[in-house]
Amino acid sequence: MVHKDQNLILASASPRRLELLKQVGISPNLVIPSNIDETPLKRELPHELAKRLCRLKAEKVASTNKGSFILASDTIVACGNRMLGKAENSSEAEKFLKLLSGRRHNVYTSIYLITPSGDTSIKCVKTVVKFKSLERSDIEFYLRNDEWQGKAGGYAIQGLGARFIKAINGSYSNVVGLPLFETVNMLKGRGYPL
């Protein structure tokens, strides 16, 4: 029997985050998407947006789920200070891929934890990703496969998008959507039984 203060709620709609947690032996008791407004504020930097959004997600879920661990996360892909959200259609995905082609970009994922007693922790992890120079045929192939749908920056490193990744500097799981090393250490450090 799990005590209420050992419940873990994942405040995310992302199936990838749930898979990543399960990969390291963590199975949330509940998954509750928070559906918040993700519009960036004026002059908000990518890492600031990632931190603000994951905090808002966690707080929204915590407001109706007291006494549990609440884990939220948000990933922002940025080329310079230009933020690339989830591509809404194939033409936007194509623009993202053309922008990322042959360049480095940053992936910021913030994690926010609320403990059963209401204490909070936040961490933002940055990974630098280097794309190869994409040919027209690369982009057409990728768009045909629809993998870009629902992905920040319009690509998935854990799928067909891996064929475009020349190098990464930092956490691979961060680019997928949840920096596992940091998440496990945050949970452990705040008393979640692992």
DSSP per-residue string spanning 33-83: ------PPPTT--HHHHHHHHHHHHHHHHHTT-TTSEEEEEEEEEEETTEE
Residue 144, SS3? helix
* Cβ–Cβ < 8 Å for 114, 65: no
Active site annotation includes 74? yes
- Tell me the pairing of strands 165-169 and 104-114: unpaired
Find tokens 């692992």 and name the residue. 194
The CA distance from 155 to 143, in Å, is 10
R_g of the chain, CA atoms, integer Å: 17
Find tokens 């452990």 and name the residue. 188
The residues near 127 (Cβ < 8 Å, ≥ 6 apart) are 106, 107, 109, 168, 169, 170, 171, 172, 174, 175
- Tell me the pairing of strands 104-114 and 69-79: antiparallel
- Active-site residue among 37, 74, 119, 146? 74
Q: Give catalytic residue positions.
A: 74
